[in-house]
């Protein structure tokens, strides 16, 4: 099997790529690697896709065949699984999810015992084993599986503990969209137990409606409800809970850059772990300039929250993220956590006694246009004529950036153009996208 890890684990259509047979082998191969690394137990969580039960069974069979014990967590946000791998000590975490994709896709994300996504070296070891024969351990050495029913409660208490004890959300009305995904039970409870009046959207999963016209990639319903309910905030999570966008009381959507700017602005410290921030190649140039004016260093990682996490660890810094809404508050968690990012933003605004618009008025974004193009083969990006055209566009831009890359999670090419003129950015982005569509 030629199975490859992408920017966020392994992901693809269930009917053709992420099949039970594939998951059985992934579980078996990963189990062998985990045992070599000294781990004997794996935690398996999932989102609400209809394929989750099927793939969960296949994965656990693979791990058991490798002699690894399995704890089944049930539906739980990706960051919740990451938290439990660290909290329960000596465990390894697996999440069955395709994040913001629709129900036809599914995927597998792996976390080490410290709650961080596995390294490229570990991925390569698993990929190598998948190409060969895999045999079960002797019967007496097979692993065992059991349910772990406390996972949701533990994650709820952890999230609440990140809010300062002197703060209460009792005065707040919050619209919360859980994208019919893994957060549908835990996140409403978190905000309610902190005292907020919570108006929920996207909390009725049926296996097929995850991310459908809702969540962080489709925040229009939250915007509408915030205005209708005269709410203080809207919070839109994605299907596995590692992304978030926030809507202010005026219906304005705050993306990952805005969220990080608020957190950076609210932090009184500019030294040590708080001396710098990590963005990605997608982070807006205006955001970078604004962060530097606040007194921080700023560096860019490759696109993907695991690369942000790796660079944060390398630099020894606490805050990083992506415009898409992956926010890593490394002083609290080891991976992107949409619920905790939202809690931290709301807490910061309460302590500052400011609204988002007041803070965000201190920096201006450069016009940025993003286009995704469906392709049959992402290798088209290496076509000489396309590469030549991209270089021509780059040379024509006096101010701005061009980023053209294959999606790490879908069969798409992502085109991003920044310019001091929105019309210029739009024209060049459409021109480049047209090269792939033709």
Q: Which residues are catalytic?
A: 99
C-alpha–C-alpha distance, residues 175 and 201, integer Å? 7
C-alpha–C-alpha distance, residues 186 and 339, integer Å? 10
Query: H or E element: which one contains 107?
Result: strand 105-111
C-alpha–C-alpha distance, residues 185 and 307, integer Å? 29
Residue with structure tokens 């302590």?
Answer: 351
Pairing of strands 173-177, 197-201: parallel
C-alpha–C-alpha distance, residues 392 and 401, integer Å? 12
Identify the CA nearest to 70 among candidates 150, 148, 144. Answer: 144
Q: Which residues of 401-414 are buried (b: 16+ CB within 10 A; e: fewer)?
A: bbbbbbbbbbebbb
Concatenated DSSP letters of 328-340: EETTT-SS--HHH
C-alpha–C-alpha distance, residues 14 and 57, integer Å? 14
């Amino acid at each position: 099997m030629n199975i490859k890890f992408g920017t966020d684990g392994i992901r693809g259509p269930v009917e053709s790529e992420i099949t039970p047979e594939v998951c059985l082998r992934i579980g078996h191969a990963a189990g062998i690697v985990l045992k070599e690394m000294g781990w004997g137990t794996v935690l398996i969580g999932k989102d609400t896709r209809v394929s989750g039960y099927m793939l969960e069974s296949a994965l656990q069979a693979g791990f058991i065949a490798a002699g690894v014990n399995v704890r089944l967590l049930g539906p739980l946000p990706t960051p919740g699984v990451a938290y439990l791998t660290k909290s329960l000590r000596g465990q390894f975490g697996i999440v069955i999810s395709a994040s913001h994709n629709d129900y036809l896709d599914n995927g597998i994300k792996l976390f080490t015992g410290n709650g961080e996504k596995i390294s490229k070296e570990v991925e390569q070891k698993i990929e190598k084993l998948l190409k060969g024969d895999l045999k079960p351990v002797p019967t007496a050495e097979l692993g065992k599986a059991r349910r772990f029913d406390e996972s949701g409660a533990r994650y709820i208490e952890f999230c609440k503990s990140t809010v300062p004890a002197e703060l209460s959300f009792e005065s707040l009305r919050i619209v919360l969209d859980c994208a019919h995904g893994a957060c549908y039970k835990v996140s409403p409870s978190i905000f309610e137990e902190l005292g907020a009046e919570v108006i929920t959207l996207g909390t009725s999963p049926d296996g097929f409606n995850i991310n459908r016209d809702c969540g962080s990639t489709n925040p229009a319903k939250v915007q509408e409800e915030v205005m209708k309910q005269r709410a203080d905030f809207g919070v839109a999570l994605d299907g596995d809970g590692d992304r978030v966008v926030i809507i202010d009381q005026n219906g304005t959507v705050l993306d990952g850059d805005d969220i990080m700017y608020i957190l950076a602005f609210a932090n009184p410290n500019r030294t040590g772990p708080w001396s710098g921030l990590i963005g990605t190649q997608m982070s807006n140039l205006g955001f970078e300039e604004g962060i530097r004016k606040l007194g921080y260093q700023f560096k860019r990682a490759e696109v993907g929250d695991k690369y942000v996490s790796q660079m944060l660890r390398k630099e020894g810094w606490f805050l990083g993220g992506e415009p898409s809404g992956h926010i890593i508050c490394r002083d609290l968690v080891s991976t992107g956590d949409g619920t905790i990012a939202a809690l931290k933003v709301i807490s910061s605004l309460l302590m500052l006694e400011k609204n988002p618009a007041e803070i965000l008025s201190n920096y201006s974004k450069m016009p940025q246009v993003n286009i995704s193009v469906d392709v049959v083969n992402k290798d088209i990006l290496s076509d000489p004529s396309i590469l030549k055209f991209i270089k021509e566009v780059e040379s024509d831009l006096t101010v701005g950036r061009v980023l053209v890359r294959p999606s790490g999670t879908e069969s798409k090419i992502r085109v991003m153009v920044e310019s001091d003129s929105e019309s210029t950015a739009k024209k060049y982005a459409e021109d480049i996208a047209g090269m792939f569509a033709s």
